[in-house]
Chains A and B, each alone.
Chain A
Amino acid sequence: MSSSALRAEPAGSSFASKIFALFGVDQVQFRTLLRISFLIDLRGTAQTATPGHTTESPLKSSLILYAVYSAFLTPLAFLFPAALYARFMMFFGMALLGMVMLVDFGVTLVVPDDIAILGWRPISSRTYFAAKLTNALAFISAFAVALFTLPSIAGIFARGSTLLFLPVYLLSAILGAVFIAGLVASSYAALLRVFSAEKFRSAVNFLQIAMMATLMVGSQVGPRIEGRDAMRQLLRKQGLDSSSWSWWDLMPPRWFSAPSELLIGGANPRVITLSVIAFAGTMALFIVLIGSLSLTYLQKVHGSGATSSSPIAGRRPSLILRISKVFFRTREELVMFDLIRTQLARDRQIRLRIYPMLAYMLIVLPFLVLGPATSGHEHINPGLLKIAPLIVLGLLPGVLLPLLPYAGESQGAWIFELAGLRNTASAASGIKKTLVCLFLIPLAIACFAGLIFVTSPWQALMSISFALSVAILLVQVEFMGLFSGLPFTRKMPKGRASGNLAYVLIAYAFIGVAGALAYFILNTPLRLLIATAVLLGAAAALNHLGNKSYQPFGVPLLADPDDPVKLFQ
């Protein structure tokens, strides 16, 4: 064989080499693929609208934001007993890391482009899968360290804790993150085995949306029930009983908080069993993954590169056309509405990013409104009726606006390069109006439908109107600060989607002020009406300013007032 003329690297005899050999993974290829994966991930991606222009990878800033985000939760260590704090944080953290894995690193595992580059080379499916999985695990572990370091330090000061809480909890959390990543990878690999290549991408998308919605809802429901359950125990027994079994022990976060409970509360059969399950479960998952599920992974991923067979969205139905012409008066506004609507309907990656967010927004409402009522209060606090929709609607712009510039499966940039823009102010207005029409108004209606079960329609309407005015003002403010470029024109760099969650914090501050006002001062219908009118007036003033200053980069402005947007009509 002529290639033998090359000096081939000899197979290693170290322990690592033996481990690689045991799993049938080629060490040299593994290292090469892993290095390349890191290089690609850590570099920014080229922006489509401006060829050659690159962005910095958002991973570093995401890690910092996660650390800051976790700092907001650390005060719980001073309120809760250590065991409860450990469980609560583990539930929350693992749900969050699961979302990071799904939204940002799910793409690490399924890269249809790889097959054209690597598919013909002598790389085994196991080697490829091991490299991809290690890549995802490294990032998810880094996120786990960013998310759990401060809470682990704070945990030392929780009631009944010791200094050893820090290393034990941090290591358990990293193991939990690895488990979550393995679980997502296993699901993908299993789906690849069950479904044909053509159906795989759709199946993955449904799985992602389902898992994401479960995690998002779980991150809200889990810690609350966990907290309530534990508080009940505390009230009954003056201490958290870590020895009694419950159905909640089936949930993985319980397994990974068990080693800390073992440290704090002493050994008992429950925590010992759960700790063993945490370690053994993670090991078993990876042995199954590398040993069995990865065998045909590379070949199967190949087929997943096929383009979507779902039909392209047709022309706008005439009813929507007529209605939308009322709100979207210029052609640029209509273009933006059409583009965002179409991409949301067609693009699975975009749907994955946005739809679970909506589920997350809505789950907050019943907890805020009904939570205190089920805890013994006979009447729902009217202040909370104003705050609940305020949080639901107010968080939406901060979550959605940073997601909109990024494309999913298909990019929209080419149309702007081809057609240019005649009036950028009008395009800006179109983006904001679309956000209001497609998301804020339906969400407001959903909130209204929920609230009329617990209060009068009039009071619900007043609360929703106030919340909507705050949200519209936030759209204006955040559009100027968080939105750049044009919708769906760039490839989303890894780490960006989960990093965007941190923008929620910015909105929280604003919502906090508005909520305090609503709770303490705006407690008559007239005051609420006046406040709503003032907020809408401020939003209208900012609208003009924001539209004028909007500069989508890389897109030519057309002098010709006629043709470009006809493409959309």
Chain B
Amino acid sequence: MSDTPAIEARSLTKRYGSFVALDHVSFAVPRGQILGYLGPNGAGKSTTIGILVGMLSATEGTVYFGGQEFRRDDYAMRRRIGYVPESGGFYETLSGFEFLQMAARLYHVEEKEAEQKARGFMELFELERVMHQRMSTYSKGMRQRVLISAALLHNPDLLFFDEPLTGLDANTALLLKDLIRQLAHDGKTIFYCSHVLEVVERLCDRVIILDHGKAVADGSMAELRSSTDAATLEQIFQQLTHEDNTEARVKQFRSLLGSAM
């Protein structure tokens, strides 16, 4: 296997006027690794993922896929990307089947194969009963399953997940976690963005924690534990993102509730 990282970010910076959403963030993800990307709300996770999948341009810094610089108009490189957005990302007037067919055709998958793949994914995610219904009638979990399928069916080697378990029932969540592990085992590189620390702890080979646009931790779970003297990812996260005063804040909430009653 080549040493060239599958995904590499060098000094990524994104500014919106005077606000710095991302501040010189750098990392390299080897092929087949599952990277957990964490951070409190507004830390810059979605901005990073937006830049990595080509939806946003960085103010400074460069992204490399397999050692090659990724430019937003490099459509051959975009074909290697699969992305599950945190919200939206579907046409509610279309049926799940039509949406998946569309997604496959946009990658030049032949019509028949696109149909087969769409049907296969709908069956795999137990959506065959509703496959011809409009997505406006789907539950949140059903929509999420369609979005995951739409990100996978062109067989990309770089996968970006932004809160993929949102709305999924326990069985589908288990299925997805197993699937992600298997995909990584097959050599696909996974960028996993989430707030669910327990899942990240169990699923990811390595974790990056972001706070106020800066990477404040980067390493495997063992490395993070030894460097912070904390036992769990939750504790590490609290320490590094200055959320260690939760008890005091809970007290504050209770007193506010008390005064309202």
Contact = CB atoms under 8 A, between A and B. Distances in A.
A51 B54 CA distance: 34
Nearest to B78: A122
Interface string A1-18: 111011111000000000
Contacts of B76: 122
In the A-B complex, list the 7 residue pairs whose CB atoms are closest, starting with the nearest. A122-B78, A122-B75, A120-B53, A32-B105, A46-B136, A116-B88, A8-B108
A374 interface: no
A302 B55 contact: yes
B47 to A, nearest CB: 13
A9 B157 contact: no
B71 interface: no
Contact of A2 (B53, B72, B157): B157
A115 interface: yes
Nearest to B186: A2
Nearest to A7: B110
Contacts of A7: 109-110, 113
B92 interface: yes
Assign chain A's interface to a size class.
35 or more
A40 interface: yes
A3 B157 contact: yes
Nearest to B81: A120
Given A8-B107, A39-B98, A113-B88, 18 more contacts: A3-B80, A6-B108, A6-B155, A8-B109, A28-B105, A36-B98, A40-B94, A52-B136, A52-B137, A116-B88, A116-B89, A120-B54, A120-B78, A120-B83, A122-B76, A122-B107, A124-B73, A299-B72
Contacts of B222: none
Of listed A9, A43, A122, A299, residue having the most chain B CB within 10 A: A122
B79 interface: yes
A6 B113 contact: yes
Contacts, number: 107
A46 B134 contact: yes
Nearest to B73: A124
A8 B110 CA distance: 6
Nearest to B83: A120
Interface in B126-174: 134, 136-137, 154-157
A251 interface: no
A24 to B, nearest CB: 11
Contacts of B137: 51-52
Contact of A3 (B54, B55, B94, B154): B154
A121 interface: yes
Contacts of A118: 106
Interface in A282-334: 299, 302
Interface in A93-142: 113, 115-124
Of listed B79, B103, B111, residue having the most chain A CB within 10 A: B79
A551 interface: no
A45 interface: yes
Contact of A9 (B72, B85, B90, B108): B108
A291 to B, nearest CB: 16
A35 B87 CA distance: 24
A54 B134 contact: yes
Interface in B213-260: none
Interface residues of B, number: 43
A5 B105 contact: no
B27 interface: no
B107 A117 contact: no
A495 to B, nearest CB: 15
13 contacts: A3-B107, A6-B107, A8-B107, A9-B111, A28-B108, A33-B106, A39-B93, A39-B98, A45-B93, A54-B134, A120-B81, A122-B106, A299-B72
B59 to A, nearest CB: 14
A117 B108 contact: no
B94 A1 contact: no
B79 A40 contact: no
A123 B105 CA distance: 11
Nearest to A44: B93
A121 B108 contact: no
A40 B91 contact: yes
B188 interface: yes
A342 interface: no
A43 B91 CA distance: 12
B76 to A, nearest CB: 7
A2 B156 contact: yes
A117 B90 contact: yes
A8 B106 CA distance: 10
Nearest to A113: B88
B155 A5 contact: yes
A36 B91 contact: yes
Interface string B40-57: 000000000000011111
A5 B155 CA distance: 8
Given A6-B113, A9-B108, A28-B105, A1 B79 contact: yes
